Amino acid sequence: MSRVSEESGTAAKETTTERIPAALRREQILAAASRVFGERGYSGATTDQVAQAAGISQPYVVRMFGTKENLFLEVVARALDKLITTFRVVLAEPQPAGDDDADSLVARLGAAYVDLIEDRGILLSLMQAFITGHDPVIGAKAREGFLQIYRMLRDEAGFPPEIIRDFLANGMLFNTLLAIRLPDIFEDDEAAEELMRCAFRGKLDVVLDATGSHASHAMSAPTGTAGTHS
Amino acid sequence: MSRVSEESGTAAKETTTERIPAALRREQILAAASRVFGERGYSGATTDQVAQAAGISQPYVVRMFGTKENLFLEVVARALDKLITTFRVVLAEPQPAGDDDADSLVARLGAAYVDLIEDRGILLSLMQAFITGHDPVIGAKAREGFLQIYRMLRDEAGFPPEIIRDFLANGMLFNTLLAIRLPDIFEDDEAAEELMRCAFRGKLDVVLDATGSHASHAMSAPTGTAGTHS
DNA sequence: TCTATTTGTAATCATTCGATTACAACATTC
DNA sequence: GAATGTTGTAATCGAATGATTACAAATAGA
């Protein structure tokens, strides 16, 4: 795929180039960039790939955000905001009476985290930022973002360090399994299936759905959950 | 830093360009590449950076391995071998009588994993491979490598899936904390310190040592462990 | 309608980077 | 001590890519 804007491509992209308000176009670019950066990483992604995914020209992407780095930083900031907001919503919910505090709250936060997979690119863009810790600018933002999550879980959720550590550990495993594209081989490798059934539990369908890896295969618990419940 | 081989640089590199047997030079390149790829990732690293870290010219690096991709794949394969071997050594050890099986074995495997930080780049190169799962070639190798670890923990260590999941989760968190360079701000951020004390436990010194983040600071348990015990 | 602003692209530039080529210096063997 | 192989680099090529420029077309405001 070269640089010329050949209409009608095979990959998913925003078709039809019309005049759209800059603010809205900006959102489209950010959404496209989130997917592209999440997949290829900061260095691996190109502004042209983002442009094609957004259905516009490469110069427009660059002019809208000044630099590729600014675009990535904006994507990461948005992803972090979305994550923090999602957690705060869960924290604001009344906990289902009868459930013990911490244990159930952790489970609900974890479920909310997994559900973020629907907004493709958010989790992976964040992970890509974490992995780019060597970069002076991106690294600093990544560290601050990671610690912001930690402080939220400590100061707002009231978790002790050990609980937070385990929670973050599961999150990083989830990110890694997504990044390595393990869902792609769910049906072809028994070990992959076993690990993912164990790691994703009731959210297995959500993950396989979002990653486009087959459709139905349940076989776990007879507890409802037939279709997708986003 | 351009491309000409200016002798006497500031960064760590293999000085003095002498004639060295190809097999040995190959090892030097792999060691350098492990560090560079671990830091910058596959796309972010350049063959020239590897060459400078190895103290030789860029064309020599390319000719020795054919392509940058081959070099990365070799680095990752070596890292995986080292990891598997390390785990097998732990499994072959007689468990300290009196300790319950699984729990202590997990702890010893985890400690061995953290100690791999001494061989800089191994853990991060593996993590960088995982995160490059979108690439057809690298991704396939990464998935297979990840599953190889899983199968080893299941079939050789005899762990149930839940134990393996928790073990891998802690490993991914460890990798992420390293990649994001959290040790760099150990002294500057209380949340970072708290999280790392909790996540690294008795291995805190080993990590801070290996990452060059300050030297002594103990303050945890009065249980020996004064200096570095590699 | 005339002008100014906004929204967009084509063309292209300058740099970076993986790879190739050609060649030099050293070592080994007979 | 030539001949041959090994170890290494300088020079450079071509493609990729982030960024810039110049310009076109639509839109809004007077």
Tally of domains in chain A: 1
**Nearest by CB: A41 against B131, B169, B199:** B131
- A187 CB near a chain B CB, below 8 Å? no
Judge whether B227 lies within some domain.
no
What are the CA-CA distances from residue B214 to residues B10, B56, B211 (Å)? 20, 31, 9
Question: What SS3 class is residue B20?
Answer: coil
Judge whether A164 lies within some domain.
yes
pLDDT of residue A9: 41
Judge whether A210 lies within some domain.
no
Judge whether B121 lies within some domain.
yes
User: What percent of chain A is predicted at pLDDT more than 70?
Assistant: 85
> Do B179 and A133 make contact, defined as CB atoms within 8 angstroms?
yes
Domain, as residue range, for A155: 73-180
Judge whether A153 lies within some domain.
yes
What are the CA-CA distances from residue B124 to residues A161, B33, B75, B176, B226 (Å)? 24, 11, 11, 9, 27
Judge whether B134 lies within some domain.
yes
With 60 as the cut, is the pLDDT of residue A2 above it?
no
Judge whether A170 lies within some domain.
yes
Chain B residues close to A170, C-beta within 8 Å: 169
The CA distance from B51 to the nearest CA of chain A, in Å, is: 19
Full DSSP string of A180-226:
TTGGGGTTT-HHHHHHHHHHHGGGHHHHHHHTT--S----S--SS--
Tokens 């951020």 correspond to what residue?
Answer: B189
Task: Centre a 10 Å sphere on the Cβ of residue B58 and count the other Cβ atoms it contains.
Answer: 17
List, for residues A173-203, the tens digit of each pLDDT value. Answer: 999 999 999 999 999 999 999 999 999 999 9
The distance (Å) linking the CA of B19 with the C1' of C27 is: 10
Helix orientation angle between B136-151 and B161-179, rounded to the nearest 10 degrees: 130
3-state SS record for A86-148: HHHHHHHCCCCCCCCHHHHHHHHHHHHHHHHHHCCCHHHHHHHHHHCCCCHHHHHHHHHHHHH
The distance (Å) linking the CA of A114 with the C1' of C8 is: 38
Residues 62-121 of A with CB under 8 A from B: none
Judge whether B133 lies within some domain.
yes
> Do B44 and A39 make contact, defined as CB atoms within 8 angstroms?
no
Under a CB-based contact definition with an 8 Å cutoff, are residues A121 and A114 in contact?
no
Nucleotides of D under 7 A from a protein CB: 6-12, 16-22, 26-27
Over residues A123-144, mean pLDDT: 98
With 80 as the cut, is the pLDDT of residue A15 above it?
no
> Do A195 and B165 make contact, defined as CB atoms within 8 angstroms?
yes
Chain A residue whose CA is closest to B199: A165
- A13 CB near a chain B CB, below 8 Å? no
ipTM for the complex shown: 0.91
**Nearest by CB: A198 against B147, B165, B172:** B165
pLDDT of residue A10: 44
B98 pLDDT band, cuts 50/70/90, is low
Between residues B11 and B76, the one the model is more confident about: B76
In chain B, what is the greatest distance between 2 CA atoms, to the nearest angstrom? 60
Chain B residues close to A195, C-beta within 8 Å: 147, 150, 161, 164-165, 168
Reported as type and span, the H/E element at residue B34 is helix B22-44
Dihedral angle over CA of A73, A75, A76, A81, nearest 10: 120
> Do B181 and A40 make contact, defined as CB atoms within 8 angstroms?
no
